[in-house]
Amino acid sequence: MKTSLDLIKNLSIERKKIQDFQPEKALDYILNHKDNVALIHSFPEEDFYFLIKEIGIEDSLPLLSLASYKQWDYIIDTFVWKKSQIDIYNITHLFYILLKADPDRFINWFLKEENIEFVELYIFRNVEVKIREHDQDPSDFSDDFQTIDDVFYYRLKDVSIDVSESNIIKEERDEFLTHFLKKLSSYDHSKYHNVLLESDSIIPSEIEEKCYRFRNVRLSEKGFLPFEEAIGVYQPLKVEDIIKMGKKILLKRNKEDFLPVPLYPIFSLDKENNLFVNILKKLANNEYINDIQIEFANLSNQIVVADQFKVENRDDLKKIVAKSSGFINIALEFLSFNSSSEKLEDVVLNYPLLNLFRVGYGIILELKNKCLSWKNKSFFYNNNLSLSFWGEHWVGVLGGLFLKRPLFFDNYKRGVLYREFLSMFDIQNTESILNEIIAFDELLSKINIVPKNIPNKLLTYKNFILTLWARYELNLSHEFIPIPLDNFRKLSLYNRNADFLNWLSKITDISQKTDNVVKNLFNEIETEYGKVSKDNLDSRFIELFWIK
């Protein structure tokens, strides 16, 4: 005979299996399951929301009819609010869907004390109510008023909404309110009277604020803090800070405890490959793994709020999960590089993931601050040169660091121009390029020649420094002006690294940090012009030198 524990264990296994299904298959599998109600209720609210979004809310009526009220509450809390205000389109559509899914359950949900004012606010904004006096003739009311009991008369208000959605919303709103009020009247006529009376006399701003507070309290349990609190995820920390702040407290659980842990963030996490994920795999059988997974899901939810990011599907969630795991990974890699005395598995178990995230962000922020500190005293900035002066790749790196929250310049290696920093390799790679830029900027400052705009050509550090060198090699004046094409054709451009460095050493005390830059410059010269006959050189197509 199966125990309750066996059922919970089996439901947990079933939920994990469903993660791999396509939406249509997931829907059929759940509805045909012998314990479909128990299976649906076993979904954490966040996972059920994503399941509904993937299937499509209109196609999910059978699931919604079987869902728990907590699952309904989460969908409403997530779906109908735009910041601190109720979205008229979303709430209308969702109420229409829920009433259609199960009218009786919707009435019971509405009659819960915490929900009555929320729906009354909706009625206030959409319904005009009048009470017929005993000596008043029904014909005194215009034709668009309706009544169920010949006492309370109501009509649906015109609402100001987006024209593109107006017909759909109006149809759904009219159908929902007509059906809802009739259903409520037949269920409890005195409650029907009370609702119409109360909805006509509420102070909407107060009720909306109250509902928003209750909504925030419910969501805060899952990491969805109010924005002003959630933004604290970006307060940077150093490693020594988290040690001073102390260790977290985890609840000791039996290995057979199959609490409904949100699977969607963890499922997305499995697609990542980093130190943090590998540590979680090592901890798979640890007694605290459920708590770690819940903690990670809550952290991801906090980032969603802090970033004001709308998560509509798994791909959106993957971006948040990649960020949260990436920043934690940076902190862990930093600890491993710096010979932390504590095992990294223990670090994950002992210290809040939120604080590890903040350490990772702090490391990224240090790189940004280094960049900004250089910029304010740099040669390029103080000579009013545009960012494009640094050429396409270096501009990409600098552009990412100049953002309020820095991004890594990926240059479409993973299909995007910019992405989040995910590892210490990203940090070190970016810092290495930044160091080259800083060194080259310092080199330019010692030449004592200010670049000026080139007509019909983009001014870059490359054509600036190479034009000066070419003029030196051709015994032309030491100033930044164009080289006649006939003169330029006399210049040999191959295997000239040593000559270029020799010239630089005469006018500056060059740094080894620029060696790689110089090597790349001459590799680019040979790539660009190596197969072009000198007689065929055309100044219009020469970007690395200023030629006329």
Extents of the domains making up the chain:
4-220, 227-362, 461-541
Residue 165 has pLDDT above 70, yes or no: no
pLDDT at 487 (0 to 100): 94
| Cα 156–chain centre separation | 39
Residue 115 has pLDDT above 80, yes or no: yes
Mean residue pLDDT of the chain comes to 90
Label residues 340-362 b or e (16+ Cβ within 10 Å = b). eeeebeebbbebebbbbbbbbbb
For the stretch 284-311, pLDDT in tens is: 888 898 899 889 999 999 999 999 898 8
Residue position matching structure tokens 């309750």: 4
pLDDT at 257 (0 to 100): 53
152-156, strands of its sheet edge to edge:
127-131, 152-156, 146-147
- Residue 513 · residue 436 · CB < 8 Å: yes
User: Would you state the structure tokens that stand for residue 369, as one six-digit string?
Assistant: 């601050």
pLDDT at 116 (0 to 100): 96
Q: What number of H helices and E strands is found in the chain?
A: 27, 7
pTM: 0.85
Q: Identify the CA nearest to 198 among candidates 187, 184, 212.
A: 184
Rounded average pLDDT over 445-470: 88
Neighbour tally for 199: CB within 10 Å: 23
Give 117's pLDDT tier (boundaries 50, 70, 90). very high
- Residue 70 · residue 60 · CB < 8 Å: no
For the stretch 253-265, pLDDT in tens is: 554 555 566 777 8
- Residue 106 · residue 98 · CB < 8 Å: yes
Could you tell me which residue, 457 or 229, shows the higher pLDDT?
Answer: 229
Backbone angles phi, psi at 28, to 5 degrees: -65, -40
